[in-house]
Amino acid sequence: MSKLFAPISLGDLTLANRIIIAPMCQYSSDHGKATSWHHAHLGQLSFSGAGLLILEATAVEAIGGITPQDLGLWDDETEAAMKKLVMSIRDNSRIPLGLQLGHAGRKASCQVPWEGGKQLTLEQGGWQTIAPSAAPFAQTDTAPQAMTLERIAQLKKAYVDSAKRADRLGFDLLELHGAHGYLLHQFLSPLANQRTDQYGGSLQNRMRLLLEIFQELRAVFPAKKPIGVRISATDWVEGGWDLEQSVTLSKALDKLGCDYIHISSGGLSPQQEINVGPNYQVPFAERIKQEVEMPVIAVGLITEPEQAEAIISTGQADMIALARGILYNPRWPWHAAAKLGAKISAPKQYWRSEPHNVKGLFLAE
């Protein structure tokens, strides 16, 4: 029996298999509001048979988007648009839905990737960014505004408010975005965090904000619904955030009742040097899995069903996440089930697509 297609529980939420659709920014919102693109994009992914679909990084305040077109959940208008989206997905699929809450910090106010991705000036429709310290991501960027303690308190409230909205909308799970060089990762890394107060300096101080926000989300999001955290295991830069610090953070989250940890890497510095190849981030997940009780998600150039099966069956991680790979092939879980001799849920409208040489592949949704 395939281990990849065995069920797993995150808190009280049981997933049908270990395939997770990772958050993938679409840069297609209308001032934070979900659009018809999100309905089409997420609709097709909801038919994939994956165990969990996590929506893209969703900004908790208007200046928190990577671009002006980032998805958001910070007011009644963005909530109303998100409600239509969730209802549309629920009308046609029973896939569990998660929402990743994030804030881009100093990496905000940028063009969409297909227009170059450079930071926008105020004249181009950009805005003043914020960060733990007034250190820009790139030398050509405008320096971010260092956050005061009052501003940190406002940020925490924004996360809490968005979590309450996510619960009202019926999301099954929350993921706190602490990876890829965005605001919470900026607080974690000594390369971006040069503060001298309780949020800077020592590892415990640099971890403080992420841990505080996790606890505040846990206090307002129903106990029966899981909350996980995505982190970058390393900055891939000497003197930056690294695997040993990630282990310490993961242990702290484990003690606080975190339901899973999602292990990626990089994104904090233009100086990063990454040797990219199949499974290149899996060793980070494997190390952290040895140190914590909560389930661990591995990600990063996992493209083949046998590759994913091996990661789970050898105990390197509890789940695998697909991002670019499932954009390229939205039916990846179907093909994996066929190759590994497993069964997978699919809409009845698609049952007749079952290949002649693979009988009994589909389960009713």
Active site residue 182: yes
What's the 3-state SS for the chain? CCCCCCCEEECCEEECCCEEECCCCCCCCECCECCHHHHHHHHHHHCCCCCEEEEEEEECCHHHCCCCCCCECCCHHHHHHHHHHHHHHHHHCCCCEEEEEECCHHHCCECCHHHCCCECCHHHCCCCCEECCCCCCCCCCCCCEECCHHHHHHHHHHHHHHHHHHHHCCCCEEEEEECCCCHHHHHHCCCCCCCCCCCCCCHHHHHHHHHHHHHHHHHHCCCCCCEEEEEECCCCCCCCCCHHHHHHHHHHHHHCCCCEEEEECCCCCCCCCCCCCCCCCHHHHHHHHCCCCCCEEEECCCCCHHHHHHHHHCCCCCEEEECHHHHHCCCHHHHHHHHHCCCEEECHHHHHHCCCCCCCCEEEC
Q: What is the pLDDT of residue 365?
A: 75
Regions in the chain scoring below 70 on pLDDT: none
Q: What is the pLDDT of residue 230?
A: 98
Q: What is the pLDDT of residue 352?
A: 95
Digit-coded pLDDT (tens) for 183-234: 999 999 999 999 999 999 999 999 999 999 999 999 999 999 999 999 999 9
Digit-coded pLDDT (tens) for 89-111: 999 999 999 999 999 999 999 99
Q: What is the pLDDT of residue 364?
A: 80
Q: Which of 27, 159, 182, 199 is catalytic?
A: 182
Per the confidence metrics, is the pTM higher than 0.85?
yes
